[in-house]
Amino acid sequence: MERSVFETIRNIQDIPTLPSVAMEMMTLAKAPDVSIKDLSECIYKDPPLAAKVLRMANSTFYRRGPQEIDTLHRAILMMGLNEVINIITSVSVLTLLSPTDEKGESLREAFRSHCVATGLIARRIDKKIGMRTQGRDFVGGLLHDIGKIILDEYFHDRFVEACDLSIRKNCTVYEAEMEVLGTTHMEVGDFLARKWGLPPYLADVNLHHHHPGKAQFKDITSLISVADLLAKARDLSCGGHVPAFVLKDQEAWGNLKKLGYPMDSLDVERITFEIEDIGDEVKAYISTVADEPAGEAAHG
């Protein structure tokens, strides 16, 4: 198959982008002398986004104390900058992932659930093995498959064909993508992550989550790889063949072990049972992010 799909994607002018505020936040966060005031002012430039951040901050996912978090300043103080960036990224991505028309709705819906589930599972495993990724676990999970959005958006029929082919042939989705589209969601995702100026680990996660041994950021990419598989095992897949697998035989598992994480002491059965109802958590998360707020965020 020719390389035309990838070339076409490279040349698409109106490719979706993360909102400018999300990009700006990521840049700001890297600055050594950034103040909470700078950050909250940056977010307030996008009022609907600011409102969603406050809604998330007060949702069961984040709220810690009895007191309502009513300003972004307070949200950043209470949750920390990384969590606020997580929220902004997840809100932005979930908006991007919303289906644009009916034909792709069910696939997009499954896809969105898969991404959120991978993020939530990665976060749980991170807590157990103590990787302390400071929120990269969740964002990495959420964004590991962005290449699929683009393939689905611009080459919907062929992408669906690839998913079907992987079921018929019992092969991986990326092998089927290569056959039908001549490129993979990993390659496209890597391209997109770079184009969007996302932190380098996210390009790595996109490109290598199926073969994390090749990753530069081996720890986070392996973590996402494990979470990705577990999400699929919980039926939160996003089209295509769902494989049976032995977690301990996975490249990702071996990497994490080599890196010194306590993989042998993990109770894999228990982790699997714990995420059995992750679907409910995914739904709750998506509706918290997606619901339109009653009014604009209060400026404060």
Partner 1 sequence: MADYLASATPMMSDETFWLLRDFIYEHSGIYFADNKKSQLENRLGLRLRANNLPDFDKYYYMLKYDPQAGRELRALFDSVTTNETSFFRSPPQIQAFQEKVLPEIMQRHQEKAELCLRLWSAGCSTGDEPYTMGIVIKEVLGERLKDWDIKIFASDISEKALKSARTAMYNEYTLRSVPPEIKRKYFTQNGTQYTVNEEIRMLVDLQYLNFNDAKRVKLMKGFDVIFCRNVLIYFDDEAKKRFVAQLYDNLNPGGYLFIGHSESLHNISRAFKLVHFPGALGYKKE
Q: Which residues bind partner 1 (CB under 8 A)?
A: 229-230, 232-235, 237, 242, 244-249, 267-270, 272-274, 276-277, 280
Q: Which is nearer to partner 1, 109 or 235 (CB)?
A: 235
Helix (H, G, I), strand (E, B) or coil at 298: coil
Q: From the CB of 264, what's the least distance to partner 1, in Å?
A: 9
Q: Which is nearer to partner 1, 76 or 256 (CB)?
A: 256
CA dist 162 and 166 (Å) reads: 6
Q: The dihedral of CA 64, 65, 68, 69: what is its sign?
A: negative
Residue among 115, 118, 200, 105 nearest 153 (CA): 105
- Cβ neighbours, 10 Å, residue 178: 16
Q: Which long-range contacts (CB under 8 A, 24 or more apart) does 97-102 make?
A: 97/149, 98/290, 100/153
Helix (H, G, I), strand (E, B) or coil at 178: helix
Q: From the CB of 230, what's the least distance to partner 1, in Å?
A: 7
Q: Which is nearer to partner 1, 40 or 288 (CB)?
A: 288
Q: From the CB of 247, what's the least distance to partner 1, in Å?
A: 6
Q: Which is nearer to partner 1, 11 or 60 (CB)?
A: 60
Q: Which is nearer to partner 1, 169 or 248 (CB)?
A: 248
Q: From the CB of 123, what's the least distance to partner 1, in Å?
A: 16
The owner of tokens 């958006």 is 153
Q: From the CB of 221, what's the least distance to partner 1, in Å?
A: 20
* Helix or strand holding residue 80 (H, E): none
CA dist 74 and 223 (Å) reads: 31
